Amino acid sequence: MMEHVQVVILGGGPAGYTAALYCARAGFRTVILEKLSAGGQMATTAQIDNYPGFDEGVDGFELGMKMQAQAERFGAETYLEEVLSVDLTAVPKKIVTDSRELTADAVILATGASARKLGVPEEDSLVGRGVAYCATCDGMFYKGKTVAVIGGGNTAAADALFLSRICEKVILIHRRDTLRADRVYLNPLQSCDNLEFIWNSTVDAILHDQKVTGLRLRDKFSGELQEIACDGVFVAVGQLPNTALFEGQLDLDHGYIAADETTRTSLPGVFAIGDVRTKALRQVITAASDGAVASHFVEEYLASL
């Protein structure tokens, strides 16, 4: 038997729980569907220093739990379930999870984005055996060892700095000759005695026996191959939006949900917030901002029904 609620939010990260807080406070029955735990990717970050109000920083998992508790204090409901299918074109919208079926007047999509993979042979089979995508999650397994970080953006720079504090050596490998990371990272990186840069190179293969033993790199210009030894590889080459459930139902922009600053999508009653939507900056604070904005337009939409 289907259960009807006014607002269903897919994803329990900072965007989803901010939207839940505002919608619940506005008096709407609000359900959050999250397949893992509160906080989303934020929960995998041990130290968040750029979210206002925490002068000493805050643990991402702790912040996620606080956001959940705050939204639930006003009546929001959390179901830790995986969403199997959605029909966003239906009236009302239909959502099927591994435990229940729901209909909703309005749906807020806050499904975030996942780490992009290198796409080299045996990468998937080596996850947990030397290949990782989250330095703060898995870095301590490589304490005192040599690791490689692949990428040149803010995530790669932050991962390299974090790992430099616990690993014997960090090798930062980038396909260009300069980093794309913000300037705030550059001086600390250049000051690391145990950090080595390898420029204009891509990963040709991950070397391994039972675990990762190194990388084979290819020079972008000469095509020359070189092998380096390392105990772990941290991949930080971008993200892929989690939009597979919505393909064919919503307008997408390079895979992200096309939604402007109102968070409205191409379908009435469907809103997109956080890392999954087209936007200039993807941070915890901009995700939370999206959640607050969405609630305003959800309220406007529900009033029109």
- Summarize pLDDT for 211-240 with one digit per residue, the tens: 999 999 999 999 999 999 999 999 999 889
Q: Is 137 a catalytic residue?
A: yes
Residues β-bridged to residue 273: none
**Which distant-in-sequence residues (6+ apart) come within 8 Å of 286 by Cβ?**
274, 279
- What are the angstrom distances between the C-alpha of 64 and each of 46, 68, 217? 12, 6, 38
Q: Is 193 a catalytic residue?
A: no
What are the sequence ranges of the domains in the chain?
Answer: 3-114+239-303, 118-236
Q: Catalytic one among 137, 192, 204, 219?
A: 137
Q: Is 230 a catalytic residue?
A: no
State the average pLDDT for the chain: 95
Q: Indicate the pTM of the whole model.
A: 0.80
pLDDT of residue 202: 97
Q: Catalytic one among 87, 98, 124, 138?
A: 138
Dig out the tokens for 264 from the structure: 């409205």
- Quick one: average pLDDT of 262-287? 95
Dig out the tokens for 138 from the structure: 């898995």
Where does the pLDDT of residue 282 fall: very low under 50, low under 70, confident under 90, or very high at 90 and above? confident
pLDDT of residue 198: 98
pLDDT of residue 238: 87
Q: What is the pLDDT of residues 182-215, one digit of tens each?
A: 899 999 999 999 999 999 999 999 999 999 999 9
CATH class of 3-114+239-303: alpha beta
CATH architecture of 118-236: 3-Layer(bba) Sandwich (3.50)
Q: What is the pLDDT of residues 50-101, one digit of tens each?
A: 899 999 999 999 999 999 999 999 999 999 999 999 999 999 999 999 999 9
Q: Catalytic one among 134, 192, 204, 219?
A: 134
